[in-house]
Amino acid sequence: MSVIDKIYFRSSTEELRSILQDKKVFIIIDKQVEKLYGSLFPFQKVFIDASEETKNLATVQSVIDQLMKMGADRDCFLLGIGGGIITDLTCFVASVYRRGVKYALIPTTLLAQVDAAIGGKTGINNAGFKNIIGLFNKPEFVYVCSHFLRTLDEKNMLSGAAEMLKIGIIGDSTLYKKAVAWFKENHLMDYDTKEDLESLILRAAKYKCKIVEKDFHEHGPRKVLNLGHTFAHAIEKCSPVPVSHGNAVSVGIIMAARIGEKMGKTNPKVTNALVADFTAIGLPTATTIDIRTLMEAISKDQRHADGTVDFVIPEKIGSVSIKRIDIDQLRTLAFSI
């Protein structure tokens, strides 16, 4: 069954009532989102303090304990409402609770609307490593609604911008250009800018679905979505201060382009264009964390048993390639950028 036909793209929450009727709904919701939008969802709820520190097995255990106390049986329907932390946690809990129950997602950050909630993939953190435990399991539906973005702050809008631009760089140069133009002018969504942003979200989410449909379990083509993530995960792990996922991805994409240059695959003009666009938008393009530290994290976290890493190279805006590269070779290239 297709992924795309299960996604609602809407400007209001109106339709949710009819979609959810006759379901035994239990909500997993970000505490901040509950404060802003909780009254829209009159169901039993589990509240989460969303952060990378809480996207772990202890929280999964706590959510399961609470669902059991609330009497959520095998016919329950879990609804995750929040950003990527909540959508990842909900997918994970729904996949293991009572050997799997039905679930749906209402992503409330831009990042989750264009990326995290799309494609039925989850990862949770363990022992300081990002998304080290996870699985693939499609939701019943995803309800993408711009209404929630009215309250999203600049930092989180930009974090979402990075993942949207990533999708454009992978395969849709028009999306990339339009997104750059929108984010150069806007960092927040308001009434006048809503429609343009909605069409960008729709375009990005649809493109992601197209990739996911080819390779749901990420054995091959889906790996392109990891563009920028080799270094992003290491940056998130090693940063002494919390860094947003999108900011880490932004730096990771530029590092991948610079490494692509050294491999003779990326034209320096492409890297320069990316740096200029990201800078104009307000996204970071470099990190102060040293390469040795980052490579150590990559080596522990993302290396295959044979000592290689699948590295995604942005060759052009709208075209990437995946290269299985030896970790020592990647280290040498990273030191040379």
Contacting positions for ligand NAD (CB under 6 A)? 30, 32-33, 36, 50, 52, 55, 82-86, 88, 108-109, 111-112, 115-116, 119, 121-123, 131, 148, 151-152, 156, 159, 245
Radius of gyration of the chain (CA): 19
- The smaller minimum CB distance to ligand NAD, of residues 119 and 139, is found at 119
According to DSSP, the β-strands at 319-326 and 308-316 are antiparallel
Q: How far is the CB of 286 from ligand NAD (least distance, A)?
A: 21
- The smaller minimum CB distance to ligand NAD, of residues 139 and 314, is found at 139
- The smaller minimum CB distance to ligand NAD, of residues 125 and 266, is found at 125
Q: How far is the CB of 279 from ligand NAD (least distance, A)?
A: 21
- Long-range Cβ contact pairs of 148-152 (< 8 A, separation 24 or more): 148/33, 148/37, 148/106, 148/107, 148/108, 148/109, 149/108, 149/109, 149/110, 149/113, 149/189, 149/197, 150/189, 150/190, 151/36, 152/108, 152/109, 152/110, 152/188, 152/189
Q: Which two tokens stand for residue 244?
A: 């947003």
Q: How far is the CB of 13 from ligand NAD (least distance, A)?
A: 12
Q: How far is the CB of 280 from ligand NAD (least distance, A)?
A: 22
| Closest residue by Cα to residue 274 from 156, 168, 159 | 168
Q: How far is the CB of 229 from ligand NAD (least distance, A)?
A: 9
* Element housing 180 (H / E): helix 173-185
- The smaller minimum CB distance to ligand NAD, of residues 163 and 172, is found at 163
- The smaller minimum CB distance to ligand NAD, of residues 55 and 258, is found at 55
- The smaller minimum CB distance to ligand NAD, of residues 109 and 271, is found at 109
d(CA 50, CA 164): 21
Q: How far is the CB of 225 from ligand NAD (least distance, A)?
A: 7
Residue number with the shortest CB distance to ligand NAD?
Answer: 84
